[in-house]
Amino acid sequence: AGAGPALRSYPHSAVLDGAGAYRLRWGRRGSALALRLEVRTRGYVGFGLSASGGMASADIVVGGVEGGQPYLQDYFTDENRVLQKDPQQDYHLEYAMENSTHTVLAFSRELHTCDTNDKSITESTVRVIWAYHHKDMGEAGQNYHGSNRGTKSLRLLNPEREEVSSASLPYFDLTNKDVPVPDKDTTYWCQMFKIPVQHEKHHVTKVEPLIQKGHENLVHHILLYQCSSSLNDSVLDYGHECYHPNMPDSFLTCETVIFAWAIGGEGFIYPPHVGLSIGTAADPLFVLMEVHYDNPSYTEGLIDNSGLRLIYTPVLRKYDAGVIEAGLWVSLFHNIPPGMPEFVSEGHCTLECLEEALGAERPAGIQVFAVLLHAHLAGRAIRMRHFRNGEEQKLLAYDDEFDFNFQEFQYLKEERTILPGDNLVTECHYSTVDRIRMTWGGLSTRNEMCLSYLLYYPRINLTRCASIPDIMEQLQFIGVKEIYRPVRTWPFIIKSPKQYKNLSFMDAMNKFKWSRSEGLSYNQLVLKLPVNVRCSKTDNAEWSIQGMTALPPEIERPYKTEPVICSSSSCLSCSLFLTLLCIVYVTASAIGNTGPFV
């Protein structure tokens, strides 16, 4: 009968469940997305796209093979999670097979279908939902899938990576040693490491996750930070919970992310002409690895040894990679009122900072090839906007479906040049509808951040290009007239008016009676305030523009997204793959106990 589209048609793959029973393969095909499901069941298979990661208001397709006949049906759910057949069928079956253990379905769908019941597929994070059952749909109507269901965040339109074979290259591992994972929902564990390659320049070409077997759902994400080079080996003795009052001071020197991995993610491969330099005085020597453990069942007695593998080569590449942290400097001056369905914060990598740093180090500009967008639990969407001579360029990166639990570097489709005098604006959208107190900029996941990490080449001496809004004008909004000077306490204390006297500015902001209209007015004010420029070199050195006041650029708000060209189902009737539909039905008696598809 045939094997359907070749596996090379699906360059990306992910196992969606912890048991390895549900594998998704996918690849872009022009204006459509081709998908292949390989599931350990002889019943129905469900797959969907959801804004929340749940069943409500989801775009769903259900299929299988029953009695030798394939079926595939396009559904949607309303806000009450009621499953309904979509009158416009936009998922198109290309191949179906069932054997004694597995069902395989291959199908495609246009990225933008003109169907209000479908979710458009963009470069943003997509919350994929999945389910399967041991019976087919027709045997007993809509069989409930029970515990055979879940959700996973992915980027379905991530560009393909050009990988160079690393089988024979040396590597070193940064792994935790017998970390006792507490019996609580969330733990962040930090451990300091020293890079072992110190005497000769090498390039790291790839970073891979090393997740302890059986802990695939426990280890939620791993971040690797570059720390101050002035530390000594005494910091290597032990790990500690991150963001804890008693954590070592040395952890506070580790601010620049050089690698990020999230659950389900793959390793990071540097472009063939770029590598992360190690082994010289200018390179990372001490690094901090932060591991997020997710233990919602409060399991006791877990011991973890997960970490990262850095693969490197003595064959030097043309360029050293660098990382710039852009956005809002993390501080209490960044704050978000409670009860807001949407609040926008902006962090500015100002033209003044880029003019000075790039003008001195790289007048021809730098090339950005990947971006990590970062916020915390209130984050809903992040965009990295790019301006040159007052004109807005195409977005550098964006994620309109931001998921705190899925953060990794996005490869840019094309490298982007950043020139002296450009402006970069990190625009973060938050929701605080479930909060009754102010949300403050800070390190905890209940605090917030608004950052972009730019991977670029060639490396220059610029590690942070950020901004802080003026706090006094923010406080004037709630009626603060005077603070005690000189400032001797942090957070500082208010002197007048009477209702805030002797309160810290945090307490005063919380005392203010925030309504949504007040929050909106406050948001409009904050976005227009002068900003304090942060323009940092390595090891806490600063460019001369550091600390200066600058005005944010005149920009259009909100950002106008590019119009989407959609294709209705009728446009696809002539698709070549629809004429190549191959059905293979193999009975268990004929195949025997065939192993799973890999």
Q: Would residue 112 show up in a list of annotated catalytic residues for this protein?
A: no
**For residue 543, what are the CA distances in angstroms to 253, 499, 536?**
18, 41, 6
Q: Which of 332, 283, 309 is nearest to 175 (CA)?
A: 309
- Of 374, 376, 386, 429, the active-site residue reads 374
For tokens 């539909």, the residue is 581
Which amino acid is present at 18? Answer: G
Task: Characterize 548-581 residue by residue with b for buried, 16 or more Cβ atoms within 10 angstroms of its Cβ, and e for exposed.
Answer: bebebbebeeeeeeeeeeebebeebeebebeeeb
Residue 441's beta-bridge partner residues?
A: 448
Question: Would the CA dihedral through 305, 308, 310, 311 be positive or negative?
Answer: positive
Q: Would residue 374 show up in a list of annotated catalytic residues for this protein?
A: yes
- Of 188, 225, 312, 319, the active-site residue reads 188
CA angle at 62 for the pair 61 and 63, rounded to the nearest 5°: 125
Alpha-carbon distance 29 to 34, whole Å? 6
Alpha-carbon distance 490 to 503, whole Å? 11
- Take residue 95 and report the two structure tokens written for it: 């191949």
Alpha-carbon distance 333 to 336, whole Å? 10
Alpha-carbon distance 502 to 496, whole Å? 8
**For residue 292, what are the CA distances in angstroms to 63, 223, 260, 450?**
36, 9, 12, 19
Q: Which long-range contacts (CB under 8 A, 24 or more apart) does 240-249 make?
A: 240/189, 240/190, 241/187, 241/188, 241/189, 241/190, 242/188, 242/189, 242/190, 242/290, 242/443, 243/188, 243/443, 243/444, 247/190, 248/192
Residue 386's beta-bridge partner residues?
A: 424
**For residue 582, what are the CA distances in angstroms to 70, 105, 502, 585?**
10, 10, 76, 10
CA angle at 207 for the pair 201 and 208, rounded to the nearest 5°: 145
Catalytic residues: 188, 374
